[in-house]
Amino acid sequence: GAVVSQHPSWVICKSGTSVKIECRSLDFQATTMFWYRQFPKQSLMLMATSNEGSKATYEQGVEKDKFLINHASLTLSTLTVTSAHPEDSSFYICSARDPRGGHNQPQHFGDGTRLSIL
Amino acid sequence: AQSVAQPEDQVNVAEGNPLTVKCTYSVSGNPYLFWYVQYPNRGLQFLLKYITGDNLVKGSYGFEAEFNKSQTSFHLKKPSALVSDSALYFCAVRDPIGGNNRLAFGKGNQVVVIP
């Protein structure tokens, strides 16, 4: 079945560092990928929709200069948290929908990245 | 805009007993409904979906869900819960017409299966 791989799983770094998270669709091509943020024991908050070959669509309240998204190929989207600070510490999850089979296919999720900023 | 409500924060059930996790939805057209499960420090795993057809949908790990249009509900059920079913469960809805492919998630339900 469709698989989404996310890397790295854990990141611990100092305040002010920029961190890049990769999301890959392993056996399908994804023109659209989604980036979510999840706080402990809470639901997923959609941050942005990543569109292959064009600019990402950010949700209201999400700083596009803070969370840079690049979707340069049909199998890879990256999220870069620029100049990260402790308040950016969170669990970040990506997802993609396999377009094969039509519009009723579920989104498939990566395993998430736990980001801790010291 | 589409939305999902999961009214309970936590569901406790004894091992071997039936498990029900509730979900109601709001969408302008006919909904696409999904259930996902999340284990600690992991992404979401797809359990089952309702698109059209039979109201009772069977999914992974013995889970099933019943679509009820009149009550706008899509409750998740399992006849006999296992300790390994303890996890966080999310209901999600997508509006295939006006939802631009986005999923709206409920807040999640923590399921605790007691040995």
- Interface list for B 33-62 with A (CB within 8 A): 34, 36, 41-46, 49, 51
- Predicted confidence at residue B23, as pLDDT, reads 97
Q: Which of the residues A45, A62, A104, A116 would you substitute to probe the B interface, choosing the one with the greatest number of B C-beta atoms within 10 Å?
A: A104
**For A6, nearest residue in chain B (alpha carbons):** B43
Shortest alpha-carbon distance between residue A112 and chain B (Å): 5
**For B35, nearest residue in chain A (alpha carbons):** A106
Side-chain half-sphere exposure of A80, counting CA atoms within 13 A = 10
pLDDT tens profile A13-44: 999 999 999 999 998 998 889 999 998 878 89
| Gyration radius of chain B over CA positions | 14
- Predicted confidence at residue B29, as pLDDT, reads 83
